[in-house]
């Protein structure tokens, strides 16, 4: 719903302000702690702000728009720019020991450009790998963030040296206390590194064990792209959703679109159409009945009296009068004919409702069934789509079985059968298929009876009763013994249940599942694919660069081992903790690896 988009935009703007304050505050504190100079803290802070503003300005300059995901980019670029400025300033501080203040700037630039360039390139590669995602906000974040990181080089090596030329900084000469503190720090780190080197194999084994343990959590990683879960539980939007669902009904839209090719529409066929085509054709009323049966099945299984996941359904059947469902009696046949003619006469009004559409290019008829699904439920979106298919597919199986029954009866008569007597044999558990098939055959003026037991359990009296029918329809495949039994009793088998799923390739009556829930489900799968692809591309592009820098294949490969740790800590840990990866945390892998 549009309110979701508005709420995300509003929350994104508030988040941008919070991120700016947090990142700015931490960056300023870090600069002060590292440099102990108000002048340099202001300069470093200004560089970070300039880089963040520059990265944000790139978006409208290239015709883009800032979305909720892209709003986190300025904070990322700011932190990286502050880090780079502090590194540059440290080179400058070291250079002032042997050069005057003006020459120290040149010395800092000559020594800092190579590591700064490599840092920016590897970070940009990690971010740019997000562009492989088919999820547009993530792709845009990767492209613009990579451009923003590379733009920081212009600020660090053009603006920052110029500012330090205009306002040179003379680092304070260390006092005795400062020298003592430096000596203590140096002594601590010397002892620390000595112990690490002395127990190198133990450290390596422990590190690899940690990496292996975290890697075991990766298969447990799950994804989610539920927009409501991006908000805190006390957000206004979440509270409104809960109130509406408890007082009015379900809110999340989902659609089932049933499509009928032009060659199955009875009223569009010529009078001399082949018998096989006439048999499989459906009148307008029969097509409406199929939609109504789907709607009924969904509500029975997923509605308030079922799993309570679907609140209501709307379709063209909602606005029409149902034809009689009894059978082949003449009075009911007349009423059915009158209803069918009235429905066809008012077809244009049904099209105007938006629940029926005819494709002018192909002649296809599209019938829309609109559902409203619960926003808050413990069922995964993929499982919800699967449950919906489980509710819909038996109706389509019944429709295909009905075609097979008509085809079998027509083969012996060389005409479209009417008024036949058919018995349905189905054990309990096939209720939806059996009810739907019975309704369809009744709609074709058949007399229908049902037997709720398998063929093997039929009594002699039931076998004798079935001999008075034109044939039987069996749910499932018949065993050789069951087939022999029916043959011996001279009971024709007209059809068995068709186990295929509804087609969507235009060759037959088919169905398309769309709306928010299927799209979210597909996006969740795409999110996991994007995570794998972007991480792989980060490794594939950064590893050769590390090998080039180290001038050694082995050294470059070894350097990449600790780079896996941030990725494994985040996603392996999320897998072990059962925390799903969302659209925000998905980007952490490529960002961490690049940094």
- Express each pLDDT in 28-77 by its tens digit: 888 888 777 888 888 888 998 999 999 999 999 998 888 777 888 888 89
Q: Which residues contact 569 (CB under 8 A, 6 or more apart)?
A: 214
Do 24 and 148 lie in a common domain? yes
pLDDT-based confidence at residue 589 (cuts at 50, 70, 90)? confident
Q: Which residues contact 125 (CB under 8 A, 6 or more apart)?
A: 146, 538, 541, 542, 545, 594
Mean residue pLDDT of the chain comes to 81
pLDDT of 369 higher than 80: yes
Structure tokens at 502: 């509804």
Asked whether the beta carbons of 582 and 225 are under 8 A apart, the reply is yes
Q: Note the pLDDT of residue 100.
A: 81
Please identify, among 474, 508, 542, the residue that sits at the C-terminal boundary of a domain.
Answer: 508
Q: What average pLDDT does range 104-124 have in this prediction?
A: 87
Q: 176: buried, middle or exposed (CB in 10 Å: 19+, 13-18, 0-12)?
A: exposed
Alpha-carbon distance 86 to 103, whole Å? Answer: 18
| Phi, psi angle pair for 69, to nearest 5° | -75, -40
Do 538 and 503 lie in a common domain? no
How many other C-beta atoms lie within 10 A of the C-beta of residue 373? 21
pLDDT-based confidence at residue 205 (cuts at 50, 70, 90)? very high
The answer to whether position 181 is within a domain reads: no
Q: Note the pLDDT of residue 125.
A: 86
Q: 565: buried, middle or exposed (CB in 10 Å: 19+, 13-18, 0-12)?
A: middle
More confident residue, 327 or 497: 497
Q: Note the pLDDT of residue 414.
A: 67
Structure tokens at 476: 């499932």
The answer to whether position 192 is within a domain reads: no
Do 360 and 490 lie in a common domain? yes
State the Rg of the chain over Cα: 35
Q: Is 140 helix (H, G, I), strand (E, B) or coil?
A: helix
More confident residue, 259 or 445: 259
The answer to whether position 183 is within a domain reads: no
Do 487 and 532 lie in a common domain? no
Q: What average pLDDT does range 567-580 have in this prediction?
A: 85
The answer to whether position 516 is within a domain reads: no
Task: Tell which residue, 306, 311, 298, has the closest CA to residue 250.
Answer: 311
For residue range 503-554, list pLDDT tens digits in order: 444 457 888 888 877 777 677 677 777 777 877 887 888 888 888 888 888 9
For residue range 209-263, list pLDDT tens digits in order: 988 898 888 888 887 766 666 677 777 777 888 888 888 888 888 899 999 988 8
Do 531 and 501 lie in a common domain? no
Asked whether the beta carbons of 451 and 469 are under 8 A apart, the reply is no
Do 142 and 227 lie in a common domain? no
Alpha-carbon distance 384 to 377, whole Å? Answer: 10
CA–CA distances in Å: residue 526 to residues 162, 175, 256, 307: 46, 59, 22, 28
Q: Is 216 helix (H, G, I), strand (E, B) or coil?
A: coil
Do 409 and 555 lie in a common domain? no
pLDDT-based confidence at residue 406 (cuts at 50, 70, 90)? confident
pLDDT of 163 higher than 50: yes
Task: Tell which residue, 203, 270, 129, has the closest CA to residue 595.
Answer: 129
The answer to whether position 240 is within a domain reads: no
| DSSP H helical ranges for 489-552 | 516-550
For residue range 178-191, list pLDDT tens digits in order: 555 566 777 888 89
pLDDT of 147 higher than 90: yes
Q: Is 248 helix (H, G, I), strand (E, B) or coil?
A: coil
Q: Note the pLDDT of residue 342.
A: 72
Q: Note the pLDDT of residue 256.
A: 92
Task: Tell which residue, 313, 316, 312, 320, has the closest CA to residue 355.
Answer: 316
pLDDT-based confidence at residue 449 (cuts at 50, 70, 90)? confident
Highest mean pLDDT among 122-131, 318-327, 522-531 belongs to 122-131
Beta strands in 332-378 (DSSP E): 356-358, 365-373
Alpha-carbon distance 435 to 443, whole Å? Answer: 12
The answer to whether position 521 is within a domain reads: no
Asked whether the beta carbons of 365 and 356 are under 8 A apart, the reply is yes
Percent of the chain with pLDDT over 70: 87
Given CA atoms 7, 13, 19, 25 in this order, what sign does their dihedral have? Answer: negative
Q: Which residues contact 61 (CB under 8 A, 6 or more apart)?
A: none
How many other C-beta atoms lie within 10 A of the C-beta of residue 150? 17
Please identify, among 477, 508, 539, the residue that sits at the C-terminal boundary of a domain.
Answer: 508
Do 228 and 367 lie in a common domain? no
The answer to whether position 15 is within a domain reads: yes
Do 363 and 436 lie in a common domain? yes
Lowest-pLDDT range, 58-62, 381-385, 400-404? 381-385
Report how far apart the first and last C-alpha atoms of the chain are (Å, whole number). 37
Percent of the chain with pLDDT over 90: 9
Alpha-carbon distance 39 to 200, whole Å? Answer: 43
Asked whether the beta carbons of 255 and 515 are under 8 A apart, the reply is yes
pLDDT of 202 higher than 90: yes
Q: Note the pLDDT of residue 431.
A: 79
pLDDT of 456 higher than 80: yes
CA–CA distances in Å: residue 127 to residues 71, 143, 152: 15, 7, 14
Do 366 and 450 lie in a common domain? yes
Beta strands in 271-326 (DSSP E): 310-314
How many other C-beta atoms lie within 10 A of the C-beta of residue 152? 29
Alpha-carbon distance 461 to 451, whole Å? Answer: 12
Structure tokens at 484: 């022999």
Please identify, among 132, 150, 174, the residue that sits at the C-terminal boundary of a domain.
Answer: 174
pLDDT of 4 higher than 60: yes
Q: Which helix (H) or strand (E) holds 494?
A: strand 493-496
CA–CA distances in Å: residue 437 to residues 330, 430, 486, 497, 501: 21, 11, 21, 10, 16
Range of the domain at 594: 207-232+526-595
The answer to whether position 179 is within a domain reads: no
Alpha-carbon distance 112 to 180, whole Å? Answer: 28
How many other C-beta atoms lie within 10 A of the C-beta of residue 408? 20
More confident residue, 424 or 267: 424
More confident residue, 107 or 346: 107
Do 138 and 108 lie in a common domain? yes
Q: Note the pLDDT of residue 175.
A: 47
Q: Is 233 helix (H, G, I), strand (E, B) or coil?
A: coil
The total number of structural domains in the chain stands at 3
Structure tokens at 563: 């780079």
More confident residue, 576 or 227: 576
Do 487 and 372 lie in a common domain? yes
């Amino acid at each position: 719903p549009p309110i979701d988009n508005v709420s995300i935009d509003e929350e994104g703007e508030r988040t941008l302000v919070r991120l700016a304050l947090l990142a700015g505050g931490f960056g300023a504190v870090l600069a002060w702690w590292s440099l102990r100079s108000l002048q340099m803290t202001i300069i470093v802070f200004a560089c970070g702000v300039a880089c963040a503003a520059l990265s944000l300005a790139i978006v409208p300059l290239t015709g883009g728009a800032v979305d909720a995901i892209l709003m986190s980019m300025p904070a990322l670029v700011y932190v990286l720019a502050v880090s780079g400025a502090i590194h540059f300033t440290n080179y400058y501080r070291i250079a002032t020991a042997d050069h005057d203040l003006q020459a120290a700037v040149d010395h800092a630039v000559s020594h800092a450009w190579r590591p700064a360039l490599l840092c920016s390139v590897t970070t940009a590669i990690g971010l740019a790998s997000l562009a492989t995602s088919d999820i547009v906000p993530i792709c845009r974040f990767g492209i613009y963030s990579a451009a923003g990181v590379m733009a920081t080089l212009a600020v660090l090596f053009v603006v920052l040296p110029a500012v330090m030329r205009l306002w040179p900084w003379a680092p304070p000469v260390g006092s005795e206390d400062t020298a003592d503190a430096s000596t203590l720090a140096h002594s601590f780190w010397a002892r620390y590194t000595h112990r690490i080197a002395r127990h190198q194999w133990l450290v390596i084994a422990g590190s690899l064990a940690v990496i292996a343990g975290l890697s075991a959590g990766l298969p447990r990683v799950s994804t989610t792209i539920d927009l409501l879960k991006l908000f805190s539980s006390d957000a206004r939007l979440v509270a409104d959703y809960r109130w509406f669902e408890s007082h009015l009904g379900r809110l999340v839209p989902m659609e089932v679109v049933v499509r009928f090719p032009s060659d199955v529409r009875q009223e569009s066929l010529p009078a001399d159409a082949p018998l096989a085509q006439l048999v499989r054709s459906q009148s307008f009323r029969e097509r409406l009945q199929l939609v109504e049966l789907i709607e009924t099945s969904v509500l029975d299984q997923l509605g308030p009296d079922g799993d309570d996941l679907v609140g209501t359904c709307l379709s063209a059947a909602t606005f029409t009068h149902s034809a009689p469902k009894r059978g082949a009696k003449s009075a009911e046949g007349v009423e059915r004919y009158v209803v069918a003619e009235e429905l066809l006469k008012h077809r244009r009004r049904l099209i105007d409702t938006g629940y029926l559409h005819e494709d002018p290019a192909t002649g296809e008829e599209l019938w829309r069934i609109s559902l409203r699904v619960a926003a808050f439920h413990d069922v995964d979106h993929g499982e919800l789509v699967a449950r919906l298919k489980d509710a819909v597919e038996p109706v389509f199986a019944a429709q295909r079985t009905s075609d097979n029954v008509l085809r079998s009866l027509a083969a012996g008569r060389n005409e479209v059968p009417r008024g036949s007597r058919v018995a349905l044999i189905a054990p309990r558990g096939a209720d939806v298929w059996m009810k739907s098939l019975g309704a369809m055959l009744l709609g074709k003026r058949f007399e229908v009876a049902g037997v709720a037991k398998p063929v093997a359990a039929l009594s002699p009296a039931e076998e004798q009763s079935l001999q008075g029918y034109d044939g039987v329809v069996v749910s499932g495949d018949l065993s050789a013994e069951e087939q022999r039994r029916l043959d011996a009793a001279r009971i024709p088998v007209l059809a068995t249940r068709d186990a295929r799923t509804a087609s969507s390739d235009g060759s037959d009556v088919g169905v398309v599942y769309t709306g928010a829930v299927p799209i979210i489900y597909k996006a969740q799968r795409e999110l996991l694919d994007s995570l794998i692809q972007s991480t792989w591309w980060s490794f594939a592009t950064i590893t050769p660069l590390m090998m080039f820098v180290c001038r050694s294949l082995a050294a470059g490969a070894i350097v990449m081992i600790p780079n896996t740790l941030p990725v494994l800590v985040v996603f392996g840990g999320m897998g072990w903790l059962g925390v799903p990866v969302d659209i925000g945390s998905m980007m952490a892998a490529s960002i961490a690896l690049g940094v």
